[in-house]
Amino acid sequence: MKRSLIAGMMAVALVISSVGCTSRAGTKTGETAGGADAKEEADYELTEAAKNHATDGADIIGISMPATNLERWNRDGALLAKNFEEAGYTVSLKLADNTVDSQIEDVNELIDEGIDVLVIATVNYDGLEDVLARAESADIPIIAYDRIIDSPAVDYYVSFDSYMVGQMEGEYIRDTLDLDHAGDNKFNLEIVSGYSADKNADGYYNGAMDVLQPYIDKGTLVVPSGQIGYAETETFQWKSEYANERMLDILANYYSDGKKLAAVLCANDSAAAGVADAIESSYKGKNIVLLTGQDGDEENLKNIMEDKQTMTVYKCLPNETEVMKDVTIAFMKGEEIDESLIEKSGWDFDVVYSDDRYSNGTQDM
């Protein structure tokens, strides 16, 4: 079996999105996004540090990551902190326990510490509206990292192109099975999607299914479980144990007679780890099952070497964190965040700017 580490070979484009029209560039000005009236209307209790962060002489970057128990977010948090510290900024980094309540507590603590900007990768797409409004009331700009947030308080969003990642997973299955030349051959496929509270999961699913759905429609790909839709293939909180439990159920109910499973479209590596364990313990077929993923987690790279997983889309986190650092610093300095930043950045990887490529449910960005 040819093992695949699809690095986007820098082909997974990074995206900088502006969220609406913001007037908060240059956070040391003391102006809120809504101006003086918005500040008077806000009724949030603030510490002295939060009230005076713009004039305290310090430049503090607050970083809130969603999950201390997932390798991915520990790596992101450490890289972001390192980048900002090397640029001369003070950093306060917090990792939640993959619950909204814990992240709300983290963000409130960061606000109380007197941070000057909040960089946040959220646990959920929604549920943080109130605490982000509190940050806005304290004149703290908010830049969403990697995951879209349903809040008008967010100023910018930096992420990989989730739709492209899904396309790459779908194309891997299409090309490895040579579906365009399948003739009368049929291949069994199962689908393990991401967590619906993470809007990136929509992009992964849509990108992959835009590639694979035509082959399902013509019968070249068959899904014995019948579980094809996004909602019925979801993996709660991206957790390995939920993906494992669902795959064990699918194998017991649809493959117990030795039916051949050709491929599992799996949205990310944490879910793929659970699927790989289920296949190893309970799949009765003798073939190597194609199994996709993304992130290049250490456990999954080991699984690829052992033919338990066959590909992962490696998203170069140093690139993403570098873009986040440069966007954040430029924003704090009051510089324009648009195509001109890309032109002068000197990045040697693909980045695009958009104000309408994505939607957070409140506005295009």
Contact at 8 Å (CB) between 261 and 225?
A: no
Q: Who wins on pLDDT, 292 or 31?
A: 292
Tell me how far apart the alpha carbons of residues 341 and 158 are, in angstroms, rounded to a whole number: 13
| pLDDT value of position 315 | 86
Asked, colleague to colleague, whether 20-154+317-354 and 162-313 share their fold, the answer is yes
Helix axes 71-86, 317-332, angle to 10 degrees: 40
Identify the CA nearest to 288 among candidates 305, 256, 263, 255: 263
Using pLDDT thresholds of 50, 70 and 90, give the confidence band for residue 6: very low
Predicted TM-score of the model (pTM): 0.80
State the average pLDDT over residues 297-304: 93
| pLDDT value of position 28 | 38
pLDDT, tens digit (0-9, with 9 covering 90-100), for 191-206:
999 999 888 899 999 9
| pLDDT value of position 5 | 44
pLDDT, tens digit (0-9, with 9 covering 90-100), for 101-159:
999 999 999 999 999 999 999 999 889 999 999 999 999 999 999 998 988 999 999 99
Three-state secondary structure call for residue 36: helix
How is 206-261 classified by DSSP, letter by letter? HHHHHHHHHHHHTTSEE-TT---STGGG--GGG-HHHHHHHHHHHHHHHSTT-PPP
The alpha helices in the chain, defined as continuous H runs, are 35-41, 48-51, 71-86, 100-113, 129-137, 162-176, 200-217, 240-254, 269-282, 298-305, 317-332, 339-345
The strand pairing partners of 118, in sequence order, are 62, 142
Using pLDDT thresholds of 50, 70 and 90, give the confidence band for residue 355: confident
How is 183-214 classified by DSSP, letter by letter? TT--EEEEEE---TTSTHHHHHHHHHHHHHHH
Contact at 8 Å (CB) between 312 and 301?
A: yes
Contact at 8 Å (CB) between 158 and 144?
A: yes
| pLDDT value of position 269 | 96
| pLDDT value of position 227 | 98
CA 309 → CA 72, 242, 272, 275, distances in Å? 18, 17, 8, 9
| pLDDT value of position 1 | 46
Does residue 358 surpass a pLDDT of 90?
no
CATH 3.30.465.10 fits 20-154+317-354, yes or no: no
pLDDT, tens digit (0-9, with 9 covering 90-100), for 72-95:
899 999 999 999 999 999 999 999
State the average pLDDT over residues 210-232: 98
Which CATH superfamily does the domain covering 162-313 fall into?
A: Response regulator (3.40.50.2300)
Residue 356 DSSP code: S
As given in the structure block, the two tokens for residue 51 are 């009230």
CA 121 → CA 147, 190, 272, 304, distances in Å? 6, 29, 21, 28
Tell me phi and psi for residue 354, to 5 degrees.
-150, 150
Burial of 134-161, coded b for 16+ CB within 10 Å and e otherwise, reads bbbbbbbbbbbbbbbbbbbbbbbbbbbb
The residues spanned by each domain of the chain are 20-154+317-354, 162-313
